[in-house]
Chains A and B, each alone.
Chain A
Amino acid sequence: MRRYRYLALAAFAAFMFVCCTDDSIGIFAGLAQESPTDDKASKFFTDASPKFIAQAGTSYYAATNALYRRPEGETSSSAWSKMDLPVSGIVTAGVVDGATLYVAFCDSGGNGLGVWSYTAGTWTHVDIGGDIDDKQVVSLAVANGTLFASTIVSDVYYLNVGVFTATGVTAAGGPMTGAAYDGTFYWIAAGQKLYTGAENSLVESTEIGQPAGAKLGGIASDGTIVFVSSDDGYVYSRAVGPVWTKSASLESGIGAIALTDSDDLLLVAHPETGYHELDVSAWVAGKSPNDPLTTTDSVNYQTTLFEKYITGFASFVEVGGTTRIFALAGGDGLWSNSFDGSSWSTWIRE
């Protein structure tokens, strides 16, 4: 009988051990630190996969299949409003260059309806009848004031005085994921390849140490240093001169990246786990990521972007000097977080 009692005690102790996780944050303690994440959420982005977020003037623009706008200073759940489109179709890509919003559209059959610009409340069809006017544009990017457009067959064009002109990038093997400028040359990431050069004569880069052999997730630049994330799990950095170094391994599958506007923090998305932060203020080879605890705290991260499929990041500075970063989550809406100069507000759903 006594043996059974001991067995029962052992079983109970094993149950306690298996069921308990002595986390760094207690369950009740974590609950006490929670803040509402959905109080200001717009119905437009519920379960949506945002295609882009951009800032022009004092307004933000974001798109799912439709296009939405909200003033910078308004953050209520009704702040976002749906915009009238210049054509009957869906949004495929968008970006801002200066004060001009560029948006690409296609019809339900995937046929291109052109790239349109929106300035001061007026839509203008860009390069009517041009080379890409009837092609589906799947990606738009701006670097150094130059607009790049990638078609569904991975041909990349740039806007040259109102005319979309070939860059030299054709059939890149994947759509352009971004564009950057290092002070001298442009850089385009598309598929598994990096292209560089002047905007009208981009060629495939073959520099030593550059990312190769894996899909490129994103590209960013502070104006001098170029950062590229690769599906192999590393972030590559190119300082002045053709010298590439890579971070410590983050995790395979990393994707979109963005520099925060203070240019010292690189956000690196991962389609399954959320995101990493890399302090790039003092880049060294083998740089290790932080937990994403600069831009948020553990509880907020766990209740927002943790394990979300982040497809894109963007960072903007508002009129009052506040930095606002956005995360686009596939099937899980649009999120934002702001830095007022001293602390981050934590992530909330837009």
Chain B
Amino acid sequence: MRNTSAFLVSLVLALAVPATLTAQEGAPSEQPSIPSSDQYNDNPYEVGENLLAFNLGCFFPMSFYAPTDGAFEDTNLKIPGAAFSISYLRTVTTGFAIGGEIGGSIAGSVALRTLFMAPFLFKTSWIFVALPFEFMPTIGAGFTFTKLQDSSHIDPILKLGCSWFWRATIDWSFGLNTDLWTLGQFYSDPKQNRIGFFGEATLSAVYHF
């Protein structure tokens, strides 16, 4: 119950903060309107545009793969967990951006332990636009700080995903991220090695500047 409450409070804050920022920038009448599609070129994201995204939502442990056994295993983690992240992207060519992401995810186990993972990612995104909607396939790679009880580990991670946004204002987009995480966890004892598969679905607010 406490986790659920914390999650809901965090969700409200995540959505409220961007809205507050927007409101502070001026009266609604002064807010620039979104250009109609005929004012954009095929892809409005020109070089030098910046995107700052705030993401909060659910985390879905899927499976572990044991390479030495050649078998998939149950994660014994409860579904859903919670995930959050902040990412920054900057367009380097039209419709293509690079940047980074930091975040965290939490999931409880059947034996009442809590798994925490904090990924640090380098990201690339391709941006496709059909106003007022935007579509962004993304690839991220980096490492994850993983902690369970008294154990911790640094693991390489590959994150594939896609974001769907609705461009609400010239400054803000809102939408949904879906991601698949793949983590390799390697130890000196090969029997302890595992490949972890996780899913993530988060609500997202993106600030454009």
Mark A residues whose CB is within 8 Å of B: 15-16, 19-32, 34-38, 299-300, 302-304
CB distance from B157 to the nearest CB of A (A): 13
Q: List 28 A-B contacts (CB under 8 A).
A: A16-B154, A21-B151, A21-B152, A22-B188, A23-B192, A26-B185, A26-B194, A27-B146, A27-B148, A27-B151, A27-B153, A28-B183, A28-B194, A29-B66, A29-B194, A31-B64, A31-B115, A32-B66, A32-B74, A32-B194, A35-B76, A35-B110, A35-B111, A299-B111, A300-B111, A302-B149, A303-B109, A303-B112
Does any Cβ of A come within 8 Å of B193's Cβ? yes
Chain B interface category by residue count: 20 to 34
User: Does B76 lie within 8 Å of A34, measured CB to CB?
Assistant: yes
Q: B102-122 toward A: CB 8 Å interface, digit per residue (1/0)?
A: 000000011111010000000
Kindly list chain A residues whose C-beta atoms are within 8 Å of the C-beta of B111. 34-37, 299-300, 303-304
Q: Of A22, A34, A38, A303, which contacts B187 at CB under 8 A?
A: A22
CB distance from A190 to the nearest CB of B (A): 37
User: Does A19 lie within 8 Å of B152, measured CB to CB?
Assistant: yes
**Total contacts A-B at CB 8 Å:** 90
Does any Cβ of A come within 8 Å of B73's Cβ? yes
Does any Cβ of A come within 8 Å of B196's Cβ? yes
Does any Cβ of A come within 8 Å of B206's Cβ? no
A12 to chain B: closest residue by CB:
B143
User: Does A32 lie within 8 Å of B76, measured CB to CB?
Assistant: yes
Kindly list chain A residues whose C-beta atoms are within 8 Å of the C-beta of B150. 21
Kindly list chain B residues whose C-beta atoms are within 8 Å of the C-beta of A30. 148, 151
Kindly list chain A residues whose C-beta atoms are within 8 Å of the C-beta of B115. 27, 31
CB distance from A170 to the nearest CB of B (A): 46
Bound Cα distance A26, B146 (Å): 11
Bound Cα distance A15, B145 (Å): 10
